Amino acid sequence: MNTAENVAAAATAIIGQKVLPGAEEDFASWQADLNTAASSYPGFLGAETSRPTPLQPDWVVVYRFDSVPHLQTWINSATRQTYLDSGAAYFDGPATQQVVSSGTRTLDPLVTVVVTHRVAPCHVDEFLDWQRRMTQEESRFEGFRGSELFRPVEGLQEEWTTLYRYDSAEHLDAWLTSPERRRILAEGEKFDDFALRTIDNSFGSWFAFEGDGKETPPPSGTKTSLAVWVGLYPTVVFLTLALSPLHLPLWIGLLVGNLLSSFLMSFLTMPYYVNPLLGRWLRHPAAEPSLGADVRGLGIVATAMMFWAAVVYLVTVRFWTLP
Q: Do 207 and 170 touch, CB atoms closer than 8 A?
A: no
Nearest-Å Rg of the Cα atoms of the chain is: 24
Residue 284 CA, chain-centre distance (Å), reads 14
Residue of higher predicted confidence among 13 and 27: 27
Please state the domain extents for the chain: 6-208, 221-319
pLDDT digits (tens, 9 = 90+) for 18-69: 899 999 999 999 999 998 999 888 888 888 888 887 666 788 888 888 888 8
Question: What pLDDT is attached to residue 107?
Answer: 34
Query: How far apart, in Å, are the Cα atoms of 106 and each of 8, 151, 165, 238?
Result: 13, 20, 10, 42
* Mean pLDDT of all residues in 312-317: 86
Contacts of 227 (CB under 8 A, 6+ apart): 219, 270, 274, 278, 282, 301
Closest CA to 64 of 43, 45, 49: 45
Separation of alpha carbons 240 and 306, rounded Å: 19
Is it the case that residue 323 has pLDDT exceeding 70?
no
For the chain, the average pLDDT equals 78
Task: Determine the 3-state secondary structure of 6 from DSSP.
Answer: strand
> Is residue 211 scored above 60 in pLDDT?
no
pLDDT for 210 equals 34
Closest CA to 203 of 56, 98, 31, 49: 49
SS3 135: helix
Of 66, 79, 67, 71, nearest in space to 97 by CA = 71
Q: What is the CATH number of domain 6-208?
A: 3.30.70.100
Cα separation of 175 and 181, whole Å? 7
- Give the contacts of 293 (CB within 8 A, at least 6 positions apart): 280, 281, 284
Distance of CA 70 to the CA centre of its chain: 11
Task: Work out the pLDDT band at 302, boundaries 50, 70, 90.
Answer: very high
242 secondary structure, DSSP code: H
What number is the average pLDDT over the span 199-227? 52
Residues contacting residue 18 through CB under 8 Å, at least 6 positions apart: 57, 58, 59, 91, 92, 93
Q: What is the mean pLDDT of residues 217-229?
A: 75
Q: Residue 320 above 80 pLDDT? A: no
Return the number of other C-beta atoms located less than 10 Å from residue 233's C-beta.
16
Separation CA 211–CA 4 (nearest Å): 12
Tens digit of pLDDT for each residue in 251-279? 898 899 888 988 888 778 887 888 888 87
C-alpha dihedral sign at 31, 35, 41, 43: positive
pTM for this model (two decimals): 0.45
Helix (H/G/I), strand (E/B), else coil: 195: strand
pLDDT at 157: 67
Q: What are phi and psi of 194, to 5 degrees?
A: -140, 160
CB contact at 8 A, 13 and 99 = yes
Residue 128 · residue 144 · CB < 8 Å: no
